[in-house]
A and B are shown apart, each in its own frame.
Chain A
Amino acid sequence: DGGITQSPKYLFRKEGQNVTLSCEQNLNHDAMYWYRQDPGQGLRLIYYSQIVNDFQKGDIAEGYSVSREKKESFPLTVTSAQKNPTAFYLCASSSRGSTGELFFGEGSRLTVL
């Protein structure tokens, strides 16, 4: 079945450590996105990529980094520079020509101790 796979589902890290969240899709979608979700704040865009080897900052990119070396993969690294990294992270994708409809993964919950 086609879909988006995020891993790990739950992740615990100590303060000051970098952590990488995986996102893989087999929908053959061109665009991929990372959102951060905090209670009462909705979804905020971190980074997005519309083609391989190219990506753009979203509204809250500081403290995060991404890469897009393959069409299927869009990993997110939460660096030690991110001041408040504990959150629920959602990866999404959309097809070429989409007018904004996104397909989401199941999310990764990061807790920094």
Chain B
Amino acid sequence: AQSVTQLGSHVSVSEGALVLLRCNYSSSVPPYLFWYVQYPNQGLQLLLKYTSAATLVKGINGFEAEFKKSETSFHLTKPSAHMSDAAEYFCAVSGASGGSYIPTFGRGTSLIVHP
């Protein structure tokens, strides 16, 4: 069984401030973890993924995330927010189940960036 909890349905930051979006996961097998971004009325785009190599993962648009097994967390960060970062962000977890990897998504966090 696997699940994802994203803390905070909305996060509001000022332009130039640190972005921190929280994700905790539960998985009975070694997890693979993902962050996706969604702009209004569009599909999801992969930001970054953890696949058991380095625990600190760098993605597109200056985002990064750190896998912490002891805390079962995979929080997404960006040092300085830009107006164009305003979007919905989804954390997802997958793990081997019968030879398949079907991801489970969190409920999403809406990032609001103020000028």
Contacts and interface: CB of A to CB of B under 8 A. Distances in A.
A98 B41 contact: no
Given A100-B32, A100-B34, A42 B42 contact: no
Interface in A48-63: 48, 50, 58
Nearest to B42: A106
Interface residues of A, number: 28
Interface stretch (B13-21, B56-64, B79-87, B105-113): B105-113
Given A42-B107, A50-B100, A102 B41 contact: no
Given A40-B9, A107-B43, A99 B51 contact: yes
Contacts of A81: none
Nearest to A59: B104
Contacts of B41: 88, 106-107, 109
A39 to B, nearest CB: 9
A100 B90 contact: no
Contacts of B95: 100
B73 to A, nearest CB: 18
B110 to A, nearest CB: 9
Contacts of B104: 45
Interface string B46-71: 10010100000000000000000000
Q: Which applies to chain A's interface (DSSP): helix, strand, loop or mixed? A: strand
Contacts of A100: 32, 34, 92-95, 101-103
A42 B105 contact: yes
Given A90-B43, A100-B32, A100-B103, 20 more contacts: A6-B43, A40-B9, A40-B107, A40-B108, A41-B107, A42-B105, A43-B44, A43-B105, A88-B41, A100-B93, A100-B95, A100-B101, A101-B46, A102-B44, A102-B46, A104-B43, A104-B44, A106-B41, A107-B43, A109-B41
